A and B are shown apart, each in its own frame.
Chain A
Amino acid sequence: MAKVILQPLGDVIERALDPAEARRNASHLAGLEAALDARRDEVRAGWGATYVERVHAKGKLTTWERLEILKDEGSRVFPVGTLVNYGRTFGPEQRTSPGAGVVTAFLRVSGRLTMVIANDNTVASGSWWPLTPEKIERAQEMALRLRLPVIYLIDCSGLYLPEQSHTFPGKTGAGAIFQMNSLLSAAGVPQIAGVFGDCIAGGGYMPIISDVVYMTEQAYMVIAGAALVKGGKSQKITSLDIGGPDVHVHLSNCADHRVPDDAVCLRMIQREVERLPTSAAPYYRRGVEPAPPRFPAAETASLFPVDYRQSYDVKQLLARLLDDGLFREVTPEVGTEMVCGVGRIGGLWAGLIANNPGLTDHPVLRGEKRPGSILYREGIAKISQFTRCCNDDGIPIIWLHDISGFDIGPEAEKQGLLGYGSSLIYTISTNSVPMFTVLLRKASGAGYYAQAGMPYDPVVQLATPISRLAVMEGRTLAIGAFNTKLDDNFEIVAASEEERQKIRQGMEGVESRITADMDPVKAAAQMDTDEVVRMDEIRPYLEVLIEAAYQGYGYRRVKNPRIWSLHDLAVLGEEGR
């Protein structure tokens, strides 16, 4: 019977790394992480204290206060999409829209993981900005993929109308939210809505498809509010008269229950979640207790060199991500520029695929080394087959990116890397097992695609403060752009010192612009990545995501390890030797 024997990975930090370097690395990341924290705090503050007071003056709670009450005691909120619209302003008044005016987060409620979608009532009364619909749809998509119950906390005054052309008509316009409502319902994913205040037009449609809708005494849902209803002024009709709980709970049947206030509404929602099936995660742990990593996740930041071109030992990272640092590497002898295998996170099996950034042995030329973080033929074949096995065995996949791209040059083309790469792309495009992507550092070129980057529908894509997401590095692009002015050693060829100066300035301009574009905050602002996390948050996020992948029963394959296809791979590897 095939067993899965795990081996401990990694070393204590003092042995893994020169202490001086570890300190340097840690302080470099500490600076970046402090900047990230500051930005997240800025988003969390919404439009600030004045707006918090306004919400309180109405006898309501702020969105974040609601989340704090809703979540299980001792659990934390795992937001996604925090930085959407970060740094963008709208209209002549230069309005900001922190978090696109909505909080989307994985939240533990009554013991189950849920996806909470909550309008931020401290940002323009929870109205919808450009990218707000996309952010909501993305959260709905995560829930649909993982069959997580969705909780809507609605407090939304409708589209931010000055920007309506960006939020209304397109493929991902606000209407797509309601299509997602329908698809979630059709897939049997529970949806629970609490309406806490304004719920106008689009906001009005959002809760209706939910299985159960609660309305507080302050809540109203209307296709059009009093301002747009003919005669509204002369008849002294308020929006509450048009679509309050008196109408929707008791007459129209568009909502199910009325509740006096926010606190009771949240209690009711908790009770609804209690009625759902309990998590399947303990069942799929098969008696194994969740365990912390072998070495503290807090040390993760020390592992990454200050210079992004320097390498590190990815197994030291795995030792700080996996339960007890235990890992079973699959075909370690082939394609050593890739590390893949299985381990447990929070007691649940996960398949991990990581780039090995260090120098690795050349498979043919004895004694020769070649740089890592590149997709060569052997590595591509290995991870293609590994993902097929994980897909067949029902093991969720975590991709850890530090990839410069595919190997290039005549050898690579002759070997047919386009074909092997496309085979990998075909595989990850058609896999149905949940995949999660973490952009540890470089995520460049087609390598970003082939390792299940955002366009390949990972359920969630995380980035770190040192992520570099681009087709190519700024330096590389500058060389490409000024190719005709460079010799074989990429040195500038110029007739005069003046011309040389001009070319150098031109190249530096290209490089700095591209490097700025690779800023993970910018990627997150335009939704090219779901969340930027600190290094020590990678493990907690993965714990939640992997548990979420195992929470629901019956919608996807989860095999007992004794019948994993992975064993076949091991047998063929042994036979091959």
Chain B
Amino acid sequence: MFRRLLVANRGEVAARIIRACAELGIETVAVHSLADVESPHLELADRRVCIGPGPASGSYLNMDAILQAAEQTDCQALHPGFGFLAENALFAARVLQHQIAWVGPPPRAIAGMGDKAAARRAMKAAGLATIPGTEGVLADVAAARRAADEVGYPVLLKATAGGGGRGMRRCAGPAELERSFAEASLEAEKAFGNPGLYLEKVLLGARHVEFQVLADRFGAAIHLGERECSVQRRHQKLLEEAPSPALDAAQRNASGCRAAEAAVAIGYASAGTVEFLRDTDGKLHFMEMNTRLQVEHPVTEMISGVDIVQEQIRIAANQPLALRQEEVRLEGHAIEMRINAEDPDNGFKPDPGTVSVFEPPAGEGVRVDTHCRSGYTIPPFYDSMIAKLIVHAPDRAAAIALAECKLDEFRVEGVRTTIPIHRRILAEPDFRAGRYDTLWLERLLAGGEG
């Protein structure tokens, strides 16, 4: 196993990776920006290296600085976490050139899944159903119109290089499509340097269901079941649970195995997430594959007992998967609530500042992934997430009850957080009944019927 690993990330996920390394007996090097000098996670690492100023472009996105840090501390491996450079194929390739093991999939798989239209084609070829839409990039608005007529409105224009909702437009009819095409294309070009758009039918009432897969470098792959991530606002996940209330064991196993096989087919090797939209008929349509660790990975860890970060590191050290599919046991129900420093009264804008009191809950079936503590000042440059509260109980009702209880125990003062909205979600009868889709929360917040 590696002697020393560099964690090319910050905050909560950096702390998570450092913990996994400690359990594997690997020393860690934490890199940080000037804005993160006081970050508590740095105390967990064996060494720390400052790599630049607060803005991420000068530090956490600065490939040269990170590689320099890895070289001068003799690291044998690098974990990119999520966000920042985690899905940057060029960075992965550069890390490998330094003879440093990249804790993630091969650069080609990252690039292949990063091009969303190409990913759709590859996964369709690998046997997954895709959302009705175009095969490749749309040549012009006329092509978009023809495609939309074929699959039926409403449709979604999406940037092929995209993510995070940029270059994305929902079009209810031909007039809107006409209007949005140039706009979305321009936005995509500005955001990603690639104006290419493709089109998908909007699946009304669909749920976001994603499968966690693990693939080693020897062509073996398994799945660890699915996560239900439909509780979103503005395409941002807020609360996730596993298993999904909408899937039965047969569909779970069949779809999970197909996702794992597809990962092998595209030459994937590491942990990865295959995202699907589940339509109202219960059919799963491939959406995209995330070639990194997911924020919501703990819910899967809770029900499977598999440490996904440790598995990523083992795979990077050329170890074959120790678990076979039939040995995977999924037990109980887990819910994760993202605790973000956001102001719900101000459109959920980030609310950086000093966390005067931070007292996370504890007890049986509770896990809090965080880098935060009382007195911690949230820097303004980065993501607003300060903690993840994860609960695990024998069944869904028990998990909800436990979550409510632990949210009450959670004391955060000094900044506004998403704790109140989680309380509200958990109290909703529709949520408690497992009846929700990806637009449910938006409707709830807009004061609609939920």
| A interface residues (Cβ-Cβ under 8 A, vs B) | 217, 245-246, 249-251, 253, 257-260, 264, 267-268
Contacts and interface: CB of A to CB of B under 8 A. Distances in A.
B57 interface: no
Q: Please report whether the interface of chain A is mostly helix, strand, loop or mixed according to DSSP.
A: mixed
Contact of A217 (B1, B99, B101): B1
Interface of B: 1-4, 74-77, 99-101, 218, 317-320
Nearest to B76: A250
B105 to A, nearest CB: 17
A268 B76 contact: no
B319 A246 contact: no
Given A217-B1, A246-B2, A260 B99 contact: no
B374 to A, nearest CB: 39
Given A264-B319, A268-B318, A253 B218 contact: no
B318 A260 contact: yes
B76 A264 contact: no
Contact of B320 (A249, A250, A257, A264): A264
Contact of B100 (A217, A250, A264, A267): A250
A264 B3 CA distance: 20
Contacts of B1: 217, 260
A253 B77 CA distance: 14
B76 A246 contact: yes
A246 B317 contact: no
Given A260-B320, A264-B218, 17 more contacts: A245-B76, A246-B2, A246-B3, A249-B76, A249-B99, A250-B74, A250-B75, A250-B76, A250-B101, A251-B74, A251-B99, A253-B99, A257-B318, A260-B1, A264-B318, A264-B319, A268-B318
B99 A250 contact: yes
Contacts, number: 35
Contacts of A249: 76, 99
Contacts of A259: 318
Contacts of A250: 74-77, 99-101
Contacts of B317: 258, 260
A56 to B, nearest CB: 20
B363 to A, nearest CB: 37
A491 B61 CA distance: 100
A253 B99 CA distance: 7
B75 to A, nearest CB: 8
B291 to A, nearest CB: 21
Give me the 9 closest cross-chain CB pairs, A-B, nearest first: A250-B76, A246-B3, A260-B319, A259-B318, A250-B99, A246-B76, A253-B99, A251-B74, A250-B100
Nearest to B318: A259
B29 to A, nearest CB: 13
A217 B3 CA distance: 11
Contacts of A268: 318
Given A250-B76, A260-B318, A267 B99 contact: no
Given A217-B1, A250-B99, A250-B101, A258 B74 contact: no
A77 B309 CA distance: 42
A253 B318 CA distance: 17
A206 B438 CA distance: 60
A44 B82 CA distance: 53
A252 to B, nearest CB: 9
Nearest to A261: B319
Contacts of B320: 260, 264
Contacts of B77: 250
Contacts of B218: 264, 267
A35 to B, nearest CB: 44
A123 B101 CA distance: 35
